[in-house]
Structure 1
Amino acid sequence: MEALFARTGLADLYEKVVQGERLSYDDGLRLYRTPELTAVGALANVVRERMNGDATYYVRNLHINYTNICNKLCKFCSFYAPPGDPRGYVLTPDDIVARLAEHRDHVIREIHMVAGINPKLPYQYYLDILRSVRAARPEAQIKAFTMIELAQIARAAKKPLGDVLEDLKGAGLACVPGGGAEVFSDRVHEELFRAKLDNEGWFQVAREVHRAGLRSNATMLYGHIETVEEKVKHLLHIRELQDETKGFQCFVPLAFDPARTELEHIPVTTGQQNLREIAIARLLLDNFPHIKAFWIMITPQIAQLALWYGADDLDGTVSHYEITHALGTASHHQALSHQELLDLISEAGRVPVERDALYNVIPEQLAVGGQQSAKGSVSLRVLSSSS
C-alpha cells in the first residue's frame, strides 16, 4: 500500500492518516484535486476500517414528507410548491397514520419526517403529527425536522427553541436529520437559497439541538455551483462544531439532482464524484462516527462500491421518498427490500449490521454483526443514544 501512495504523491497524507493526525484545509484541497481517486479511496478505507471494521449499518425505515409547500424558493429544489400553488399539499395527522398503515406488515425501526417550510402550519400541528406517529408505531423512533424546519417551528410557537425542543421530545422526537445545510458559503447562500436560514443560523440551531440531548446528522449538497474550496471549508466548519458539541452521529454527502430545478442545465454527478465526496468526508471528518452512502441519490451500485471508499452506512429500505429521484424515475416509490440491503452489503465483502435511528444495534442482528467476513472478525463500535 505504501507503494501506491508513493507513486501517487500522497505518501505524506498516508503517514498522517496512519498516525491518526488531523488533516488540514490544504490536505483537503489536495484530496479533491488529485486525479488518483483509487488512492484517495484507499486512504479513506484505512479510517473506515479503523473506526468501524467491516460493519456496515442499515436501518429499516420509512420516509414521510408531510408538506411540499415552502416559502424558501431554493433554486436547487424540485420538491417544493410555493404558497398558493395548486400542487401544494399538507398531510393531516390522519393522513400520516394511514400511510403508516400501508406498511403495517413491515418492520420499521425509524420514521424519517421532513418537509417544506410552510408558514401557515401552526405549532400544534407539529406536536400532533409526532404524537400520531408515536401512537401508530410506538416501536419506531422518529427522526424529524431539519434545522431549517426547527427554526420555523420555533417561530410558529413564539417560544425559545430550547423550550420547543423539549415539547417535541415529549411528543416523540428521538433525533434530527441533517438536511438544510447545503453548502456553508455566503456566496452560494445568496445565489441559490437566500431566503433560507444562513450558515450561522444553521449552526445555532444545531447547537440548541445538541444541547437538548438530541443527536443529529449533518449533510452537504454537492454537484451544483459550489467550489472545491467551499466544500473543504464546509467540512471543516462541521468538524469544528462536532469538536464543540459532539452531537453529530453521521455525515451524509447529498448528490444534487438538477432535474426539474432552476439549475437543470448542470450535469448530474458522476460515480467518480460521488465516491470522492464520500472518501474525503471520511478523511476530514475524523470526529464523526459514521459516513453514509445514501443510495437513493447515488444508486445502490455506487453506494455498494462506496463501502470501500469510506462509507459504513447505507441508510435503509426507505420505501417512499419525494425530495429527489436521482435513480431516473418519476415514482415516489423508491425502496430496497431488507434482503436486497443484506445482499448489497455482503456481496461487497462487508458485514451487515441492523441499527435503529440512534445507531444502537438491533439485538437479533448481533449474530450477523459477529460473523467472520472475508477480512476476518468484525469489531463493532456502536454509538448509543447516551454516548
Structure 2
Amino acid sequence: MSAIFDHAQVLAVARKADSAQRLTMEDALILAESASLPLLGSLAHRARLRKHPAPVVTYVVDRNVNSTNICQCGCRFCAFFKAPGQAGGYSLTREELGQKIEETLALGGRQILLQGGHNPDMGLEYYEALLHFVRETYPDIHVHGFSPPEIVYFAGLAGLTVPEVVARLKAAGLASIPGGGAEILVDRVRQAVAPAKCSTAEWLDVMRQAHLQGLRTTATMMFGHVETWAERIEHLLALRDLQDETRGFTAFIPWGFQPDNTALGGRKCSPQEYLRVLTISRLMLDNFLSVQASWVTMGREIAQASLWYGANDFGSTMIEENVVAAAGVRFRMDEPGVRQAITDAGFKPVRRAMDYSLLESL
C-alpha cells in the first residue's frame, strides 16, 4: 500500500483513535491508506477492549433460510439468483420451511435468518402468512428476516409505505431485521453493482423505521468490488449517523466480495484487505457495541485473527448458507467447531441471542 500521508499524520490520528475521540472522514482515510496493518490491529483491539474488556467472544446458533432464489434484480455480484422463468428457480413450501426449522431446533437453534429474492409472485401478504405459520407452529423461533431492499420491494408491490410494511411484518411475527442489501451505501456504487435495488436513502430509512417501531437490526458492508476507500468510509459514516439517531443497530458485519460465478467478476478479497477494513470499521463505528467476524467468507483462521483486530463476535454457526456458497466459497463449522475456534484463538465462547443477550453464564 503506497503511503500518501506522512508518518506524523498517521501517528496523530492513531493517538486520536487511542484516546477514543471520534474520527473524521479524513482521519479514516489517513489510517486506511497509510497506517500499517499491525498498528491498525492494535488500535482496533484496544477499541474493542474498551467496550468488551472480558476475554469473551459471542456467537449465535441459527440457520439462513432462503425462501426463494427467484429474483428480478439481477445484481452483478450475486451468483445465487435465478431470473423469473429461468430454470433452477424455486420457492420453499411451508412443509420445506417447517423441516428446516425442525432441523434447526434439533441442533439447539432458536433463530432463522429468512431472506429471499425479489420474486414478483411473493409479496407482502405471502410473507405475512408465512410469518403467521412460523409463529403459530414454532413459537420458540425468532425470525430475523427481510433485508431493507426486500421491504422496499414489498412496499412497491403492495402500494404501501415502508412504515406500513414494517408494522405489518412485525404484527405477523417478524422479530428483527438483518442488514443485508447494503453492499456499499453510496449510490454511485449501487448503480454500478445493483441498479434495481433500493437507494442508499431508502436502505437507511427502512432501518430508521424499524428502529422507531422497536425492531433491532444489524448492519453490513460488502466490499472489494468497484468502491473506493472514501466510499467505504462514507458507508461507515452513514451507519454511524443513523446509530447516533436511533441506537437500533446491534452489530456491524463486513465481508469481502466473492467474485466467482458472478457477472461482476474480479479478484477475491485478501486476508490483509479484510483485516484492514475490519479495523477501520471498529475505529469509525464508535457507537456500535459489536463487530462480527466473517468466517463464512474468510475461513476459520482469518476469523480467529479478526478477534484480535476489532471483532468481538464470531457470528452464526450457519446451519445452512446458500448465497456465499453459490460463489464457490464453502467454509463450514458446526457449534462445537465454532466454540473450539474461539477457544483456540484465546477467548471464551459464549452463546447469545440476536439482541446480544447472553444465553449462558460467563
TM-score greater than 0.5 by the shorter chain = yes
Q: Take 1:123 and 1:92, find their aligned partners in 2: how far apart are those partners?
A: 16
Q: Take 1:76 and 1:173, find their aligned partners in 2: how far apart are those partners?
A: 27
Q: Is the 8 A contact 1:278 1:309 kept in 2?
A: yes
Give 2:45's aligned residue.
45
Q: Secondary structure at the match of 1:148?
A: helix
Q: Quick check: 177-186 or 99-108, which moved more?
A: 99-108
Kindly provide the amino acid, as one letter, of the partner of residue 113 in structure 1. L
Q: Secondary structure at the match of 1:325?
A: helix
Kindly provide the amino acid, as one letter, of the partner of residue 336 in structure 1. M
Q: Take 2:27 and 2:72, find their aligned partners in 1: how far apart are those partners?
A: 39
Shift of residue 192, structure 1, vs aligned partner: 1.4
Give 2:3's aligned residue.
none
The one-character-per-residue Cα deviations of 1:215-247 (angstroms, maximum 9, x if unpaired) are 111111101111111111111111111111111
Give 2:335's aligned residue.
338
Q: Take 1:31 and 1:130, find their aligned partners in 2: how far apart are those partners?
A: 44
Kindly provide the amino acid, as one letter, of the partner of residue 66 in structure 1. S
User: CA distance change for structure 1 residues 15 and 326 in 2, over 3 Å: closer, same or farther?
Assistant: farther
Q: Take 2:193 and 2:7, find their aligned partners in 1: how far apart are those partners?
A: 40
User: CA distance change for structure 1 residues 354 and 168 in 2, over 3 Å: closer, same or farther?
Assistant: same
User: CA distance change for structure 1 residues 102 and 354 in 2, over 3 Å: closer, same or farther?
Assistant: closer
Q: Is the 8 A contact 2:243 2:288 kept in 1?
A: yes
Shift of residue 277, structure 1, vs aligned partner: 1.1
Matched, 1:105 2:102: no
Matched, 1:214 2:211: no
Give 2:180's aligned residue.
179
Q: Is the 8 A contact 1:72 1:196 kept in 2?
A: yes
Q: Is the 8 A contact 1:8 1:39 kept in 2?
A: no
Q: Is the 8 A contact 2:193 2:264 kept in 1?
A: no
Matched, 1:353 2:350: yes
User: CA distance change for structure 1 residues 41 and 268 in 2, over 3 Å: closer, same or farther?
Assistant: same
Give 2:59's aligned residue.
58
Q: Secondary structure at the match of 1:356?
A: coil
Give 2:318's aligned residue.
318
Q: Secondary structure at the match of 1:102?
A: helix
Shift of residue 270, structure 1, vs aligned partner: 0.7
Matched, 1:232 2:229: no
The one-character-per-residue Cα deviations of 1:21-62 (angstroms, maximum 9, x if unpaired) are 101111111121125101101000011011012221100111
Q: Is the 8 A contact 1:61 1:318 kept in 2?
A: yes
Give 2:202's aligned residue.
201
Q: Is the 8 A contact 1:275 1:306 kept in 2?
A: yes
Q: Secondary structure at the match of 2:175?
A: strand
Kindly provide the amino acid, as one letter, of the partner of residue 260 in structure 1. N
Q: Take 1:221 and 1:101, find their aligned partners in 2: how far apart are those partners?
A: 31
Q: Secondary structure at the match of 2:192?
A: helix
Alignment of 1:259-338 (within 5 A): 259-264=260-265, 266-325=266-325, 328-329=328-329, 335-338=332-335
Q: Take 1:284 and 1:236, find their aligned partners in 2: how far apart are those partners?
A: 8
Shift of residue 123, structure 1, vs aligned partner: 2.2
Unaligned 5+ segments in structure 2 are 1-5
Shift of residue 203, structure 1, vs aligned partner: 1.4
The one-character-per-residue Cα deviations of 1:291-345 (angstroms, maximum 9, x if unpaired) are 011210111211111000000111121111111128955x6xx642221111111
Q: Secondary structure at the match of 2:178?
A: coil
Percent identity among equivalent residues? 35
Kindly provide the amino acid, as one letter, of the partner of residue 196 in structure 2. A
Q: Take 2:31 and 2:348, find their aligned partners in 1: how far apart are those partners?
A: 28
Provide the TM-score with structure 1 as the length reference.
Answer: 0.87
Q: Is the 8 A contact 1:142 1:172 kept in 2?
A: yes
Q: Take 1:122 and 1:201, find their aligned partners in 2: how far apart are those partners?
A: 18
Q: Is the 8 A contact 1:297 1:326 kept in 2?
A: no
Aligned length: 356
Q: Quick check: 248-257 or 8-17, which moved more?
A: 8-17
Q: Is the 8 A contact 1:257 1:326 kept in 2?
A: no
Q: Secondary structure at the match of 2:322?
A: coil
Matched, 1:28 2:37: no
Unaligned 5+ segments in structure 1 are 1-5, 370-387
The one-character-per-residue Cα deviations of 1:78-102 (angstroms, maximum 9, x if unpaired) are 1111111121111122221122233
Q: Secondary structure at the match of 2:68?
A: coil
Shift of residue 8, structure 1, vs aligned partner: 8.7
What RMSD, in angstroms, separates the aligned Cα atoms of the two structures?
Answer: 1.9
Q: Secondary structure at the match of 2:210?
A: helix
Q: Secondary structure at the match of 2:356?
A: coil
Q: Take 2:164 and 2:328, find their aligned partners in 1: how far apart are those partners?
A: 42
